[in-house]
Amino acid sequence: MHFDSQAVKDLEFDLIRLMLHDFCLQPTARLRMIDLEPMRDHRRLRTELIRTHEFLQIRANGISFPALDFEELDQEIKLLQLRDSVLSEESFFRIYKANVLVNEILDAFEGIEEACKELHLLVSDIEKSTYIPERVMQVFDNKWKVRDDASPELKSIREGIVIVRRNIAKNFAKVMRDLAGKGFLGDTGEAYLNERKVLAVYSTHKRKVPGLVISSSKTGSLTYIEPEVNIQLNFELESLMDDERNEIRRILKELTQSIRHELPAIRNYQRCLTEFDFIQAKARLAADIDAILPEIEDEPVIDLRKAYHPILMLQNRRMGRATFPQSLRMDKDSRMLVISGPNAGGKSITLKTVGLLQVMLQSGLLVPVAPGSKMSFFHAVLTDIGDNQSIENQLSTYSYRLKRMKHFLDVSNRRSLVLLDEFGTGSDPDLGGALAEVFFEELYSRKSFGVITTHYGNIKLKAAQLRNARNGCMLFNTQTLEPTYQLSIGQPGSSFTFEVAEINGIPKELIEAAKKKMSSQKVQMDEMLASLQDEKSKYQLLTQSAQSAGELASSAITEYEKKREKMEERLQKQQDTMERNNKYLNHGRRLVQFIEGYNLRTKNKELLDEVKKYLAMEKTKIEDDRKQKSIQKSIVKQKEQEQTKERRTGAIKVGSTVRLENTKQTGKVIELDKGQAVVAIGVFKTKVDVSRLEFIT
């Protein structure tokens, strides 16, 4: 991949890098963003793109994934490599957080491994571990201070510190009350100097106060004195606090030694989290500019659908202005695109959009295009955009462009993308145009891909003659004399020189005078192009209207078919219901005929009596059977209760804890004789039948 610093400037890729830099959380990812450039390893490039796409999908679909709240572990890794090193409290906190965060990431991937294969590979060699968090929390409390019980020595020292401080405070309060009553103290009465509590004494009384003079106020009116009674206690406190610091250092050294063998895992945490930081920054940029991963083709192709220039889109969004997307396709059959049209009509932006999106893609970034877009990887992106005079080398614009063109001819091939803005300008129009045409033919013969903006008629003509080249133009509304910023492929465009001049307030008489100085053929050609472009614009509007009408008609047909299917389904249900109802009506009629023909007083009376007799007998059988089953259930239940009671009473012996039947009172069996038990309930004793007791323990 050929990628030079000039392409960065021409395509404003540096601005993309800066945005990515600001999205990063930690230094490692930020440094990578500053040096971000297209990759030569296309396999690695595909992996980078897929990882960014997968991370964007996680965030966009609301999949639970932990926030990347961590600090890098470079310093901790260096210290752990030294034999007698001791990590600080802050270092243990960073390692603890990194370990916990990686564990949360591993948990987050459970169930989505297949959907995020490339991202999951970043943690596939890391095992979930709780050793470091558990070991660290044995030493630190929730406020991340070394625990009092981290060692017996530390606990004893801190208890001593509490006692000494209490005595110091008690003594200080007594002395302060005495001196305040004598009127020796200033308004504040006390102060802190060198972490010691001192008395604020009026300087006129300082000799009357026993103690150590520490300092005085700026005006000299107050003298700060440490009470004599506390001098020895403060020395003792300092000694204890020094012991505390030494003991904490010993504990931290021991803790450092206990996790030193986890250094490979800590390195993995650092690698994993900094990589996720890098990927997350790219995904955040993609979310900001509505970017996606286009389809990646092996053969050179640029098929952009509704492609946006990301920097222009963000600027316009902040200013509340619209941004116009562009759609174009370039492949082996149409690999050179010559764009013409009016100045300020969007030619350069279209060219820069193609170049910037290509550089972004090959740097592992998603691009702001619509689904269905296709792109591929080029070995070189070559740009010549804008006025690049070199004062240092005393080069004019044209000289600079010639040097760039020589460089292009040295490196370009079928896997090169050449972007030339205002091709051929900077010299005599006829001579510069002729040389530009030759360069154009040479790049074409090398089968390079290219987007070229120009006003030169010979370049437009050459594009029309070459089989794999295409003309395109930026459309211009001849009615309102305003550009539409829409690219149209298929024909060259007029520069609309005179129309643009009129928009910018140039008097019409000057414009007419300028037209007279041109050859009539040139004026006619430009007018013809303008007319053709105007006709094409009208045709496109009609086409769009026809397409909209067609879509509307298609939608109406679809809606009609749905309604027709629903209506047929409803009619079928109604028909089924009618048939079912007719069937029931026929049965009803037959039943009515049967009832009407049934005479209770004559021949059917005997039959009816037999039926009644039979039904009565059956009812009696059913009731007898129900009673029998109820009796059997009662017998079984009673037996079970008796067996349960026997089991309970059988287990009762002297010393058993029992509960009296139908009460909550419990007691202890102290005597047992012939089915009778003496039970002690508190201070009371009672004699009851064993069958009334419920065994507890």
Per domain, the residue ranges of the chain are 5-148+258-290, 149-246, 296-517, 651-695
How would CATH label the architecture of 296-517? 3-Layer(aba) Sandwich (3.40)
- The pLDDT tens digits for 222-234 are 888 889 888 899 8
One-letter amino acid identity for 204?
A: T
Topology agreement, domain 5-148+258-290 and domain 651-695: no
Count CA within 13 A, CB hemisphere, residue 445: 7
> Buried (b) or exposed (e) across 53-73, using 16+ Cβ within 10 A?
bbbbbbeeeeeebeebebbbb
**Average pLDDT rounded to a whole number, residues 546-559:** 75
Comparing 34-38, 363-367, 567-571, the range with the smallest average pLDDT is 567-571
Sequence-ordered list of residues with C-beta below 8 angstroms from that of 660, at least 6 positions apart, any chain:
666, 667, 679, 681, 688, 692, 693, 694
Q: How far is CA 300 from CA 3, 128, 150, in A?
A: 18, 44, 66
Q: Cα 483 from chain centroid?
A: 39
pLDDT at 93 (0 to 100): 96
More reliable by pLDDT, 259 or 585: 259
Collapsing DSSP to helix, strand or coil, 284 comes out as helix
pLDDT at 520 (0 to 100): 53
Grade residue 308 by pLDDT with cuts at 50, 70 and 90. very high
- Sheet arrangement for strand 222-227: 185-193, 196-202, 222-227, 211-216
pLDDT at 537 (0 to 100): 58
pLDDT at 444 (0 to 100): 92
Taking the C-alpha atoms of residue 397 and residue 114, their distance in angstroms, rounded to an integer, is 54
Grade residue 454 by pLDDT with cuts at 50, 70 and 90. confident
pLDDT at 600 (0 to 100): 47
According to the per-residue pLDDT averaged within each range, which of 240-254, 476-490, 497-511 is highest?
240-254
Taking the C-alpha atoms of residue 644 and residue 341, their distance in angstroms, rounded to an integer, is 103
pLDDT at 390 (0 to 100): 45
CATH assignment of 149-246, among 1.10.20, 1.10.1420, 1.10.3470, 3.60.90? 1.10.1420
Q: Are strands 666-673 and 295-296 parallel, antiparallel or unpaired?
A: unpaired
**Average pLDDT rounded to a whole number, residues 376-405:** 71
**Average pLDDT rounded to a whole number, residues 152-180:** 92
Report the DSSP beta bridge partners of residue 489: 472
- The two three-digit tokens of residue 283, written as one number: 């995904």
Mean pLDDT for the chain? 83
What are the counts of helices (DSSP H) followed by strands (DSSP E) for the chain? 20, 19
Query: Of the candidates 401, 406, 378, 382, which has an alpha carbon nearest to the alpha carbon of residue 390?
Result: 401
Collapsing DSSP to helix, strand or coil, 417 comes out as strand
Grade residue 631 by pLDDT with cuts at 50, 70 and 90. confident
pLDDT at 394 (0 to 100): 41
- The two three-digit tokens of residue 627, written as one number: 């009673």
Comparing 48-57, 106-115, 432-441, 528-537, the range with the smallest average pLDDT is 528-537
More reliable by pLDDT, 459 or 1: 459
Taking the C-alpha atoms of residue 128 and residue 550, their distance in angstroms, rounded to an integer, is 58
pLDDT at 596 (0 to 100): 60
Grade residue 418 by pLDDT with cuts at 50, 70 and 90. very high
More reliable by pLDDT, 486 or 281: 281
Count CA within 13 A, CB hemisphere, residue 692: 15
Q: How far is CA 650 from CA 655, 662, 691, 695, in A?
A: 14, 19, 9, 9
pLDDT at 693 (0 to 100): 81
Comparing 119-123, 209-213, 315-319, 385-389, the range with the smallest average pLDDT is 385-389
Collapsing DSSP to helix, strand or coil, 663 comes out as coil
Instruction: Match 């509704």 to its residue by tokens.
Output: 306
Grade residue 663 by pLDDT with cuts at 50, 70 and 90. confident
* Topology adopted by domain 5-148+258-290: MutS, DNA mismatch repair protein; Chain A, domain 3 (1.10.1420)
- Whether 558 has a pLDDT exceeding 60, the answer reads yes
Angle at which helices 13-23 and 263-288 pack, to 10 degrees? 130
- Whether 247 has a pLDDT exceeding 80, the answer reads yes
pLDDT at 662 (0 to 100): 73
Report the DSSP beta bridge partners of residue 257: none
- Whether 664 has a pLDDT exceeding 50, the answer reads yes
What percent of the chain stands above pLDDT 70? 82
Grade residue 147 by pLDDT with cuts at 50, 70 and 90. very high
**Average pLDDT rounded to a whole number, residues 432-447:** 86
Taking the C-alpha atoms of residue 344 and residue 482, their distance in angstroms, rounded to an integer, is 10
**Average pLDDT rounded to a whole number, residues 500-505:** 66
Count CA within 13 A, CB hemisphere, residue 214: 19
- Whether 279 has a pLDDT exceeding 50, the answer reads yes
- Whether 342 has a pLDDT exceeding 80, the answer reads no
CATH class of 651-695: mainly beta
pLDDT at 657 (0 to 100): 86
